[in-house]
Chain A
Amino acid sequence: MRRPDFSFDRDAFIRDSRPRVKKGLIAGAVGFLVIALLAGATFTLVLALLLGWLVYIPAWNRVPYGRVAVLTVALLAAVLYPYYQPDMFEIPVFGEFPTVDTAVTMMIFVMMALGLNIVVGYAGLLDLGYVAFYAMGAYTAAWFASPQFGESVKFHLGSVGVNPNAQGFHISIWLILILAAIFTAIIGVIIGLPTLRLRGDYLAIVTLGFGEIMPQIARNGDNLFNTGFNLTNGPQGINPIDPPGFGATLGNIGLPESYLTPGSDAFPFLSDSLRLYYWTALVLVLFTVFCSVRLRDSRLGRAWIAIREDETAAAAMGVPLMRTKTWAYAAGAFFGGIAGAYYASFKSGTFPDDFFFNISVFILCMVILGGMGNIWGVILGGSFLAYLNQEGLGNIGGWLNDHFSGQRGAEWVQLWSTDIDVPLYQYGIFGVILVIVMLFKPEGLIPSARRKAEFEEGVADQPLYDVSH
């Protein structure tokens, strides 16, 4: 086995760079104000970022240039994506680059995949009911930022884009993201506490059970226990959900007041609704990535990995099993909650049929395809599968039918007579991905070195999940 290369001491690097982060932030803020006053505001944000970056960098001798360069380019490419997307070339077979709309969905699913990665990849607990957390987040947004409880409540807190006299809870989406995350994390703990004692495959089934119960509550929640209390509005779902926005005060300095009506004079580039959703999703993804990295390197993260590799040994070394596992659940649920709430706000509605078991497996598929435990792998797997789900399969189907179908294809390559509906095979394709990855490359496309070693050599004589505390 190739030993992973730890010669770059990342802990020391992070510790040493902390003061520079502070400096960078201050310099960035000052630079932002100065340039905004001098040069109009169009590219101020970009310049401020660059300035902060320059102050942050100067431990030049310790910087792994390749990595920084790759990350910077990737980040810039992601930030500027809405600008160059329409001009991009067509990829063979896959067709055009994903639209900004699809990109938002992709990023939301990447967030969920990263959250599930904490549970499955780091702690090694198979969770087949992750959709429950997604649903919890979405319904939290739906309860506190919609006219749902309009008959009895009128409560506004930083609401944007809503008539100030509107009935129901209308809390700012930013607060709701936090609220949903915390609420979902609590639900994660509640689900976790009775079930985490169980062995791996039983745990999988129980989480699956919760994943099935949640949407059923959502579907039947319009008349809970025949009391007439309408919790979830039943199969019709809850809509409209308020959009995010910065409100009137920040709106005066040019930030969009509401994402749905983003007329901004000071920052013309901020006057496109989809772009705003896109950048916000990007910020959320970056936040999730940051938290994932920091959690992985933390004491807690190392405890997760220890539990994943050998529970008995970890317990013998003094790792508190229950508490550590519960934290994994809570952390995974946290990001699922944020993603769910943001998705609900993006779609401006939440419906019980969005929360089928399929979604749980879909997200699991992302984690497994990319490589359990590896953040970059999960991002790759998540974006690819979410893209396939949204646009890719349709595009591929179109390409196949254009070339091989009897209705349109050239005479000599007509493999089938009528067009085939490729998106119909969606879940079969995901199933094939699961099976093939697990059989031939169980560590995923971009494996984490540790995980790979576990799958190739086995970590202990006991099977990985055979031992409870």
Chain B
Amino acid sequence: MSTEASRIRLPAAYRPSPLAAIGSLLVLLVIVWLAVNLVKEPAEFYRLFLIGFTNGAVYGLVALGYSLVYGILELINFAHGDVFMLGGMLVATMVASWGLAGAGDAGLWFGILAMLLIAMAFCATINTTIELVAYRRLRGAPRLAPLITAIGMSFILQNIGLVWKGARPTSVDSILPTGDVFTVTLSGTSVAYTWRQFIVLLVTAPTLLLLIWLVQQTRQGKAMRATAQDQDAAAMMGINVNRTISFTFFIAGSLAGVAALLFALYTTTVHFTTGFRLGLIAFTAAVLGGIGNLPGAVLGAVLIGLIESFNNGLGWSTPGSDWTTSIIFAILIMILVFRPEGLLGERTPEGG
């Protein structure tokens, strides 16, 4: 009896496995690579860090959408990236038709705020509609079924984007202020933290806090967590499961809307395949952090953003931007092989 109790309290016995050794070695190699680059070119390193961090913040908003939906339905919402893409296209249209490029300060900020709300509502509506049309009927079906409709939906949305804006990338007028917030001089080179980058953070951080408050403090958030744990039990406790799931898709969609606005204004170009590419990056980020785990999704997204920007820009033995997709997928595959529960996730009986 006592032995059993003590055994339960002990942490899982440490068993070095070849997989863990290989994994640690890979992480070590990445750290060495980063360190050498940092010593060689600190200024460039810092510049790329800022870019990667900003991109990571945008990825985080999309990754949260995947994580929220996965947490509640255990479904990879393939169409999520394309919802984001359509939001970006809407922003591009609004920027052009409202003539924001030449607007004064007050008009500009009001315009951005209006666009934020419109993009959020737009993406949230699409996402909720998708759930209603394509996933709700299949809730009791084999897992394969909603996944396939998700892919179908993703294709439909991509096609809408293609027809809407054409096969060439749509450029968005650059309307964000261009000044610097502060400048750091490293080994003779000065690197600026621009307003464009800062605004991304300025929008992302409150959004994340709001989301955490929503999920952890409100009644609706409680309902979401209950539904995620056990739909039947939640229904018995008087939670309207269908409405809660719709609400989750609504929130995920609004996050995609925020990300769409930031992405369109920050990178100033949107393409109909953007959603697919960025969706995969964000999904990888969600898996990296531990899918279903909200802080994990953001952490994973920032890591992926950093890896991407370091890979695109660093000088010393770097594969370069041609290989970014491959590297991100290699990370995804390795995470799933070495640590399927992700960085912050918990090991589940299903093994991830």
Q: Which of B147-155, B168-176, B262-270 is the interface stretch?
A: B147-155
Query: Which 7 residue pairs across A and B have the least CB separation, nearest first?
Result: A428-B159, A434-B152, A431-B155, A209-B329, A464-B142, A431-B156, A435-B152
Asked if residues A464 and B156 are in contact (CB atoms below 8 Å), the reply is no
Stretch at the interface among B46-54, B193-201, B244-252, B320-328: B320-328
Q: For residue B138, which residues in chain A have a CB less than 8 angstroms away from its CB?
A: 438-439
Q: Is the CB of B144 within 8 A of A465?
A: yes
Tell me the minimal C-beta distance from B221 to chain A in angstroms. 25
| CA gap between A198 and B350 in the complex, in Å | 9
Shortest Cβ distance from residue A71 to the other chain B in the assembled complex, whole angstroms: 31
Decide if B27 is an interface residue (CB 8 Å cutoff). Answer: no
What are 9 A-B interface contacts by the 8 Å CB criterion? A194-B337, A198-B340, A198-B352, A201-B74, A202-B352, A209-B329, A213-B329, A220-B322, A425-B163
A201 touches B337 (CB 8 A): no
Q: Mark B316-352, 1 if CB is under 8 A from A, else 0.
A: 0000001101100110110011001000000000111
B137-148: CB near A (< 8 Å → 1, else 0) gives 110111111111
Residue ID in chain B nearest A361 by CB atoms: B151
B45 CB-CB contact with A under 8 Å: no
B280 beta carbon closer than 8 Å to chain A: yes
Asked if residues A465 and B162 are in contact (CB atoms below 8 Å), the reply is no
Contact, CB under 8 Å: A435 / B276: no
Q: A198-B336, A438-B145 are in contact. Are A357 and B156 (CB under 8 A)?
A: no
Task: Closest B residue to A129 by CB, please name it.
Answer: B329
Contacts of B151 in A (CB 8 A): 128, 361, 364, 431, 434
Known: A425-B163, A428-B160, A434-B152. A126 touches B336 (CB 8 A): no
A433 adjacent to chain B (CB < 8 Å): yes
Q: Are B147 and A126 in contact (CB under 8 A)?
A: yes
A213 B330 Cβ-Cβ under 8 A: yes
A73-109 CB contacts (< 8 Å) to partner B: none
Check: B215 CB closer than 8 A to any chain A CB.
no
Which of B152, B156, B163, B329 is A438 in contact with, Cβ under 8 Å? B152
A260 to chain B, nearest CB (A): 34
A205-B142 CB under 8 A given contacts A212-B326, A430-B155, A432-B152? no
For the A-B complex with A199-B352, A364-B148, A438-B145 known, give 20 more contacts whose Cβ atoms are closer than 8 Å. A126-B148, A194-B333, A200-B144, A201-B143, A205-B283, A208-B280, A210-B329, A212-B329, A213-B326, A219-B322, A427-B155, A428-B155, A428-B158, A431-B159, A435-B152, A439-B137, A463-B142, A464-B144, A465-B144, A466-B143
- A19 in contact (CB, < 8 A): no
Task: Flag if B325 contacts A213 (CB, 8 Å).
Answer: yes
Interface residues of B in 109-159 (CB under 8 A from A): 133-134, 137-138, 140-149, 151-156, 158-159
Minimum C-beta distance from B281 to chain A (A): 11
Tell me, in angstroms, the Cα distance from A175 to B198 when the chains sit together: 60
Interface membership of A206, Cβ < 8 A: yes
Whether B76 is near chain A, meaning CB under 8 Å from some CB there, is: yes
Most chain B CB inside 10 Å of its own CB: which residue of A194, A216, A438: A438
Task: Please name all residues of chain B whose beta carbon is closer than 8 Å to the beta carbon of A195 when the two chains form the complex.
Answer: 333, 336-337
Complex CA gap A310/B302 in Å reads 39
Contact partner of A201 (CB less than 8 A), chosen from B147, B162, B340, is B147
B142/A434 in contact, CB under 8 A:
no
Residues of A159-211 whose CB lies within 8 A of B: 194-195, 197-202, 204-206, 208-210
B148 contacts A434, C-beta separation under 8 Å:
yes
Interface residues of B (CB under 8 A from A): 74-76, 133-134, 137-138, 140-149, 151-156, 158-160, 162-163, 276, 280, 283, 287, 322-323, 325-326, 329-330, 332-333, 336-337, 340, 350-352
Query: Which of A208, A217, A434, A465 gathers most chain B CB within 10 Å?
Result: A434
Chain A positions within 8 Å of B323 at CB level:
216, 220
| The residue from B145, B147, B152, B322 contacting A216, defined by CB atoms under 8 A apart | B322
* Nearest-CB residue, chain A, relative to B140: A458
Question: Which residue of the partner chain B has the closest CB to A368?
Answer: B148
Contact for B332 among A209, A428, A455, CB less than 8 A: A209
When A209-B332, A427-B158 are in contact, do A442 and B141 touch as well, CB less than 8 Å? yes
Q: Check A467 for interface membership: any CB of B closer than 8 A.
A: yes
- Residues of A361-377 whose CB lies within 8 A of B: 361, 364, 368
Contacts of B153 in A (CB 8 A): 431, 435
Alpha-carbon distance A204/B142, docked complex (angstroms): 14
Residues of chain A contacted by B280 (CB below 8 angstroms): 208, 212
A202–B287 alpha-carbon span in the complex (Å): 9
Residues of B within 8 A of A213 (CB): 325-326, 329-330
- CB-CB under 8 A from B137, the residues of chain A are 439
Given contacts A195-B337, A209-B332, A431-B156, contact A216 B148 (CB under 8 A): no
- In Å, the complex CA distance between A282 and B187 comes to 68
Those of A357-411 within 8 Å (CB) of chain B: 357, 361, 364, 368
**A201-B76, A425-B163, A431-B153 as given contacts; A126 in contact with B329, CB under 8 Å:** no
Q: Do the beta carbons of A433 and B340 come within 8 Å of each other?
A: no
Is A205 within 8 A of B160, CB to CB? no
Q: Which residues of B contact A126 (CB under 8 A)?
A: 144, 147-148
Query: Is A124 in the interface zone, CB < 8 Å from B?
Result: yes
Residue of A nearest to B136 (CB): A439
Q: How far is the CB of A242 from chain B (nearest CB, A)?
A: 30
| Chain B residue with the shortest CB-CB distance to A356 | B273
Q: Give chain A interface residues in 104-132, CB to chain B under 8 Å.
A: 124, 126, 128
Question: Chain A residues with Cβ under 8 A from B147's Cβ?
Answer: 126, 200-201, 204
User: Does any Cβ of B come within 8 Å of A468's Cβ?
Assistant: yes
B76 touches A204 (CB 8 A): yes
In the complex the two chains form, is A206's CB within 8 Å of B336's CB? yes
B138 to chain A, nearest CB (A): 7
Q: Is A265 an interface residue (CB 8 A)?
A: no
Judged by a CB distance under 8 angstroms, whether A322 is at the interface is no
Among B142, B154, B352, which residue has its beta carbon within 8 angstroms of that of A455?
Answer: B142
Bound-state CA distance A128–B351 (Å) is 21
Which residues on the B side are within 8 Å of A442 (C-beta)?
Answer: 141, 145
CB contacts (< 8 Å) of B160 on chain A: these are 428
Chain A residues whose C-beta falls within 8 Å of the C-beta of B337 in the assembled complex: 194-195
Q: Which of A197, A205, A217, A433 contacts B326 (CB 8 A)?
A: A217
Contact with B along A212-228 (1 / 0, CB 8 A): 11001101100000000
- The answer to whether B351 and A428 have CB atoms under 8 Å apart is no
Q: Are A466 and B350 in contact (CB-based, < 8 A)? A: yes
A423-453 near B? 1/0 per residue, CB < 8 Å: 0111111111111001100100000000000
User: Is B140's CB under 8 angstroms from A205's CB?
Assistant: no
Kindly list chain B residues whose C-beta atoms are within 8 Å of the C-beta of A210: 329, 333
B78 → chain A closest CB, angstroms: 9
Tell me, in angstroms, the Cα distance from A50 to B322 when the chains sit together.
Answer: 57
**Nearest B residue to A430 by beta-carbon distance?**
B155
Min Cβ gap B136→A in Å is 10
With both beta carbons as reference points, the residue of chain B lying nearest to A220 in the complex is identified as: B322
- Cβ distance A437 to chain B, nearest Cβ, rounded Å: 8
A202 with B340: CB separation less than 8 A: yes
Q: How far is the CB of B63 from chain A (nearest CB, A)?
A: 14
- Name A191's closest neighbour in chain B (CB-CB): B333
Contacts of A454 in B (CB 8 A): 142
Write the chain A residue with the least CB distance to B143: A465
